[in-house]
Amino acid sequence: MTATTESGRKQPFIYRLPVISHFRTSVGLQRGMLVTGLVLTVVFLLTAAFAPVIAPYGFAQLSDASGTFPAQQPPSAAHIWGTTVGGYDVYSRVLWGAQTAFVVIVVAVVMSIFLGVALGLLSGYFGGWLDRVLVVIADAIYAFPSLLLAIVMSIVINRGQSSFWGGIVACSVSISVVFVPQYFRVIRAETIRLKAEPYVESAKVVGASSIRIMGRHIFKNATRTLPLIFTLNASEAILTLAGLGFLGFGIEPTSAAEWGFDLNKAIADASSGIWWTGVYPGTAIVLTVLGLTLVGESMNDLNDPRLRGRRKSVGKTPAGGPDSTAGAQAALEAESRVL
């Protein structure tokens, strides 16, 4: 609780950034999980950023100077992860796919964060009929299977198929529709809790306007859990995108590379012993999702003093000082909630 903010101000800004501060407070297995997640995520981000440099061919390239690519070719020197039934280079498409996934995550999560946070603040702070209507809508969206909803949105926006940006926007919007209620719920719950905090009441007593209270007092305090939801939702966004692509509602292979679409085309290959078309994009999805989830889950554990592991206090000289017992008291209070 306060323990994480206690020493906050004295440290340089960089150490207070979400992931970095988490890394510094972690020990043992938790640090291992966080590091694994971070490595996988960084590899994903680098691949997305440098796909045009690393990939030997374009995502829609079917031929080069030496002629047309052979179809369903096993891994070889020219095509290190082989080629697909359509003659695409699997290695290049997996690399380019990271770029598509990254763009979709950013667009989807940014859209849903802005809308979700704004609606959550308004709904939680004002309550009344606005709150009731928004909660019912959010619940109704929850009741829908999210993939089905995404398919419907995709059809509505782009009739299923489209260009690079058209496809990305369609995917992002369909993903946001599913995510907005999540952000809405979290921010609304936090706002309702913070509304009863004495510092919000003290602002009310002073005569602060609702907009000032929401912007200055509630917003900053309510959004502290967002980095966490962001990472967890990013992995879910990838799964939804892959799911859409797999079902054929994704992006045309000529517009962008997309892992789900490639998996879909690899179904027929699997039974005829052609493993490389499915394994590589599948592994890419698994590792990316695993990386993001590990980061998110570790942050979740590290945010909670009860779940956070600490080094044993043997053989070291304690910090001491007049504040030390008060610090211990705070630590004990945080711990004693477990008992």
Contacts of 229 (CB under 8 A, 6+ apart): 182, 183, 186
Backbone angles phi, psi at 68, to 5 degrees: -65, 140
Q: What tokens were used for 40?
A: 């996988």
- Which residues are CB-contacts of 130 (< 8 A; sequence separation ≥ 6)? 122, 123
Smallest distance, other proteins to C-beta of residue 297, A: 20
143, 206, 211, 271: which one contacts other proteins (CB under 8 A)? 206
Nearer to other proteins, 8 or 32 (CB): 8
**What's the rounded Cα separation, in Å, for the pair 315 and 181?**
50
Closer of 38 and 208 to other proteins (Cβ): 208
| Interface with other proteins, residue 145, by CB under 8 A | no
Q: Which of 32, 165, 216, 283 forms a contact with other proteins (CB under 8 A)?
A: 216
From 67, 145, 198, 273, residue interacting with other proteins (rule: CB under 8 A): 198
Residues 102-131 contacting other proteins, CB under 8 A: none
If 0-12 CB within 10 Å is exposed, 13-18 middle and 19+ buried, where does residue 88 land? buried
Tell the smallest beta-carbon distance from residue 277 to other proteins (Å).
Answer: 49
The alpha carbon dihedral of 159, 160, 164, 169 has a sign of: positive
Amino acid 258 reads E
Site for other proteins in 218-237 (CB under 8 A): 220-221
Question: Residue 219 or residue 275: which is nearer to other proteins going by CB?
Answer: 219
Q: Of the candidates 138, 105, 137, 40, which has an alpha carbon nearest to the alpha carbon of residue 240?
A: 105
Give the residue among 131, 153, 141, 152 at the shortest CA–CA distance from 179: 141
* Shortest spacing between CB 170 and other proteins, in angstroms: 38
Give the residue, chosen from 64, 139, 201, 304, that forms a contact with other proteins under the rule CB under 8 A.
201
For other proteins, the closer of residues 128 and 318 by Cβ is 318
Q: Which of residues 68 and 336 has its CB atom nearest to other proteins in the complex?
A: 336
**Minimum CB distance to other proteins, residue 265 (Å):** 50
User: What are the CA-CA distances from residue 176 to residues 168, 184, 241 (Å)?
Assistant: 12, 11, 11
Q: How far apart are CA 38 and CA 50, in angstroms?
A: 18
* Residue of 102, 15, 85, 12 lying closest to 291 (CA atoms): 102
Specify the residue, 145 or 207, whose C-beta has the smaller distance to other proteins: 207
Residues 269-328 that bind other proteins (CB under 8 A): 310-314, 316-320, 322, 324-328
Distance CA 261, CA 16 (A): 40
Least distance (Å) from other proteins to the CB of residue 299?
15
Q: Pick out residues in 12-51 that bind other proteins (CB under 8 A).
A: 25
The residue count for binding other proteins (CB under 8 A) is 49
* The one among 31, 85, 204, 275 contacting other proteins by CB under 8 A: 204
Using CA atoms of 19, 20, 26, 32 in order, give the dihedral in degrees to the nearest 10: 70
Can residue 61 be called a binding residue for other proteins (CB under 8 A)? no
Smaller CB separation from other proteins, 78 or 203: 203
Q: Which residue has the tokens 């260009």?
A: 163
| Site residues, other proteins (CB under 8 A) | 2-9, 25, 197-199, 201-209, 212, 216-217, 220-221, 310-314, 316-320, 322, 324-329, 331-332, 335-336, 338-339
